[in-house]
Amino acid sequence: MTAPARTRSSAELIRAEEPVLAHNYHPLPVVVARAEGVRVEDVEGRRYLDLLAGYSALNFGHRHPALIEAAHRQLDRLTLTSRAFHNDRLAGFAERLAALTGTDMVLPMNTGAEAVESGIKVARKWAYDVKGVPDDRATIVVAADNFHGRTTTIVGFSTDETARRGFGPFAPGFRIVPYNDLAALEEAVDDTTAAVLIEPIQGEAGVIVPDDGYLAGVRELTRRAGCLFMADEIQSGLGRTGRTLAVEHESVVPDVVLLGKALGGGIVPVSAVVGRREVLGVLHPGEHGSTFGGNPLAAAVGTAVVELLETGEFQRRAEELGAVLRDGLAALTGKGVVAFRARGLWAGVDVDPALGTGREVSERLMREGVLVKDTHGSTIRIARR
Ligand SMILES: *Cc1c(COP(=O)(O)O)cnc(C)c1O
Q: 80-110 pLDDT, tens per residue?
A: 999 999 999 999 999 999 999 999 999 999 9
Q: What's the average model confidence in pLDDT over 113-135?
A: 98
199 CB within 6 A, ligand 1: yes
Assess whether pLDDT exceeds 60 at residue 39.
Answer: yes
Percent of the chain with pLDDT over 90: 97
202 CB within 6 A, ligand 1: no
Distance 112 CA to ligand 1 centre (A): 4
pLDDT score, position 5 = 54
Rounded to 10 deg, the angle between the 296-310 and 313-332 helix axes is 70
Query: Is residue 380 within 8 Å of residue 366, measured between CB atoms?
Result: no
Residue 174 CA to its chain's centroid (Å): 21
Q: Hey, which of 24, 58, 148 would you mutate to test ligand 1's pocket, going by the most ligand atoms within 8 Å of its Cβ?
A: 148
pLDDT in tens, 267-317: 999 999 999 999 999 999 999 999 999 999 999 999 999 999 999 999 999
For ligand 1, atom 5, name the residue with the nearest CA.
Answer: 112
| 6 — pLDDT class (breaks 50, 70, 90) | low
Q: What's the average model confidence in pLDDT over 8-32?
A: 97
| 3 — pLDDT class (breaks 50, 70, 90) | low
Distance 139 CA to ligand 1 centre (A): 21
Distance 234 CA to ligand 1 centre (A): 6
Assess whether pLDDT exceeds 80 at residue 2.
Answer: no
Helix (H, G, I), strand (E, B) or coil at 196: strand
Query: Is residue 336 within 8 Å of residue 355, measured between CB atoms?
Result: yes
Rounded to 10 deg, the angle between the 90-101 and 296-310 helix axes is 30
Distance 120 CA to ligand 1 centre (A): 14
349 CB within 6 A, ligand 1: no
Q: Which of 106-110, 191-195, 202-206, 376-380 has the lowest mean pLDDT?
A: 376-380
Assess whether pLDDT exceeds 60 at residue 365.
Answer: yes
What is the Cα–Cα distance from 236 to 241, expressed in whole angstroms? 7
Which of 299, 261, 274, 271 lies closest to 80 in space, CA to CA?
A: 299
pLDDT score, position 7 = 85
Q: What is the mean pLDDT of the chain?
A: 97
Query: Is residue 175 within 8 Å of residue 162, measured between CB atoms?
Result: no
What is the Cα–Cα distance from 235 to 219, expressed in whole angstroms? 20
- Starting at the edge strand that comes first in sequence, how are the strands of the sheet with 32-36 ordered? 32-36, 39-42, 47-50, 370-371
Helix (H, G, I), strand (E, B) or coil at 86: coil
Assess whether pLDDT exceeds 70 at residue 1.
Answer: no
List the helix and strand counts (H, then E) for the chain: 13, 15
What is the Cα–Cα distance from 291 to 194, expressed in whole angstroms? 27
For ligand 1, atom 15, name the residue with the nearest CA.
Answer: 235
Assess whether pLDDT exceeds 80 at residue 237.
Answer: yes
Atom of ligand 1 nearest to the CA of 116: 10
Which residues carry out catalysis? 147, 232, 261
- What sign does the CA torsion over 355, 356, 357, 360 have? negative
Give the number of other Cβ atoms within 10 Å of residue 67's Cβ: 24
Whether pTM > 0.85 for this model: the answer is: yes
pLDDT score, position 278 = 97
Which of 114, 269, 134 lies closest to 194 in space, CA to CA?
A: 134
111 CB within 6 A, ligand 1: yes
Q: What's the average model confidence in pLDDT over 194-207?
A: 98
